[in-house]
Structure 1
Amino acid sequence: MNCESNTGMNPAVPVFETALRLWGGLGPCRTEEEDGVLLVSTGCAIADQNYALRTGEGDVKKMIKTAREFFASEGMPFSWWIPPGPLAGAESSLVAGEGMVYHCSPPAMALSLEGREGMPERRDLEFVICGNSSEADEWAAASLEGFGSGPEHLGAFMSFAEAMASGPSADKFRLVTLRSGRAAAGSAMVVLGGDTAGLFYFSITPPFRRQNLGSALLDFVLGEARRAGCGAMALQASPMGAPLYRGAGFADRGAFTVHLSDKSAL
């Protein structure tokens, strides 16, 4: 089956692709683009942190074969991301037919930053923009805890974070750690690749939830995007994060569809 472009003008789609290309250029990562599919291995053996995204037209079955061969050579599970659009359902059915297991449909959201005012500053909180390896390691540990990933992934994820915080493309990333009482309570990543910033890896660790820290962290990263000259922000929302984003004014722009490489990656 051949598929045509499915992305349209949804701002969340080019932001996501930009992030993948930036991640692929990091030292610990490996990337390949062949047969119309962009593949990025972050070196972390978690399926939804290794990505396949169709960027061209053509035979999706061939793209899936290319993706499987690439990630098998990396020894990594992976996720196949389908952007919002009228052809998303057809691509999802085809991908499922090739043995890739449906995982989730995170909403794509976007928010204009024009004229937006921030919340009053909370003096009991500290926001750290990572600029060295130790700060990146703290961010990585908080992020994994926030998403419920096991400690066996920490070493690889720290390497990924360190490359963003202090590598050659560090100006494209803002890794933000929220500290409460000197403890890392939350984390977020802002990707700066154009007028629209991308928000990724946004989480609050379990001990600090239900204390309005998510709102404080979101307000800080929106301000950071504005300070970097961005006019909008886009993201893919988790079920836990979606109400927070909608409450802050983010508008739904369809939903991505995510499949995993096989059942063992669930």
Structure 2
Amino acid sequence: MQRNDPLKSIALAYISLRVNLSLEGHTERRSDGATLAASGAPVASLNAVISPDLEPDAKTMETLAGSEALAGLPWSMHVRGLPKAGVIDVARRHGLTHTTELPLMIRHPQAGQPAAGNGVLVRPVDGDEMTVYARTLADGFGVPHEAFALFANPALADTEGFTFYLAESDGELVGTGMAAVQGDLLGVFNIGVLPRHRRQGHGRAITTEIVRAHYATGATTAYLYSSPMGESVYAAAGFKEEEVLTMFTAPS
């Protein structure tokens, strides 16, 4: 019997955005919502087998994990909460023995409209600027530009529900953000600040301005998956941890 699961709508929204990011890759979705979303990027987190259920079906996860679409790609398996033995066994059979817990942080409607940020200009970009966006994103996360080359695709800027943001201070690029809206849910992703502009409140300002923009157009609940380093930033913007996402990857 399916137990009450108030956060499943967020899990499903997360899966939908992963599918939409895989414009030039491969996706498969099973009847229980378990999904393979392989973007083709050389980053394990961007090629994933994901379940929206608190108790994923291990056989389904095994089937998706065996897809030829993952051959030759770094990839990952994402499950909610602390995984049970069956899923752990699937991951191990495929060499995914390293785990990372990413806090799911949510900003509920009762938190209201957040206060304005620190004066950073956070502006949406169109397809013509996606190359700049992708490079700035990679620099903010400290990875090679090819790692996030998929974000240079101009078609992403026209994908329904997606908005990509560049942040500027005194006319200079300082960081990036991304919004993924589905119904009244706002997913906040790709919050990255260039190294020389860190520790100035820009991460919180970018997050806050994205929330403000989309709350003004109908979103009521915002969510994100934080790195441990970012938790305090998002907590200051009104987000609270309510679950974890466990990501299995091959050891580096």
Where does residue 143 of structure 1 map in the other structure? 137
Residue type of the partner of 1:163? A
Where does residue 54 of structure 1 map in the other structure? 51
Rounded to whole Å, the distance in 2 between the matches of 1:257 and 1:7 is 20
Asked if the contact 1:52/1:79 (under 8 Å) is kept, the reply is yes
TM-superposition CA deviations, 1:48-100 (whole Å, max 9, x none): 11121125787525533532433334x3211100013xx73445533443231
Q: Are 1:132 and 2:127 counterparts?
A: yes
Asked if the contact 1:80/1:259 (under 8 Å) is kept, the reply is yes
TM-superposition CA deviations, 1:114-169 (whole Å, max 9, x none): 5624434655x322201222x2112111111122211233544412xx22213xx2
Match of 1:69 among 54, 57, 67: 67
Where does residue 108 of structure 1 map in the other structure? 104
Where does residue 38 of structure 1 map in the other structure? 35
Residue type of the partner of 2:50? L
Where does residue 177 of structure 1 map in the other structure? 166
Where does residue 223 of structure 2 map in the other structure? 234
Where does residue 158 of structure 1 map in the other structure? 152
Aligned residue for 2:67, secondary structure, equals helix
* Percent identical: 23
Task: Give the drift of 1:178.
Answer: 0.4
Q: Are 1:207 and 2:192 counterparts?
A: no
Match of 2:83 among 49, 68, 88: 88
Aligned residue for 1:218, secondary structure, equals helix
RMSD in angstroms over aligned alpha carbons? Answer: 2.7
Residue type of the partner of 1:9? P
Task: Give the drift of 1:104.
Answer: 0.7
Asked if the contact 1:45/1:76 (under 8 Å) is kept, the reply is yes
Asked if the contact 2:137/2:148 (under 8 Å) is kept, the reply is no
Q: Which runs of 5+ in 1 are unaligned?
A: none
Task: Give the drift of 1:103.
Answer: 3.0
Distance change in 2, residues 1:81/1:189 (3 Å): same
Asked if the contact 1:113/1:222 (under 8 Å) is kept, the reply is no
Aligned residues between the structures: 248
Asked if the contact 1:6/1:83 (under 8 Å) is kept, the reply is no
Rounded to whole Å, the distance in 1 between the matches of 2:178 and 2:3 is 26
TM-superposition CA deviations, 1:190-238 (whole Å, max 9, x none): 1011111111111112111001111211110111221231111011111
Rounded to whole Å, the distance in 2 between the matches of 1:15 and 1:186 is 25
Q: Are 1:189 and 2:178 counterparts?
A: yes
Task: Give the drift of 1:5.
Answer: 6.5
Task: Give the drift of 1:16.
Answer: 1.0
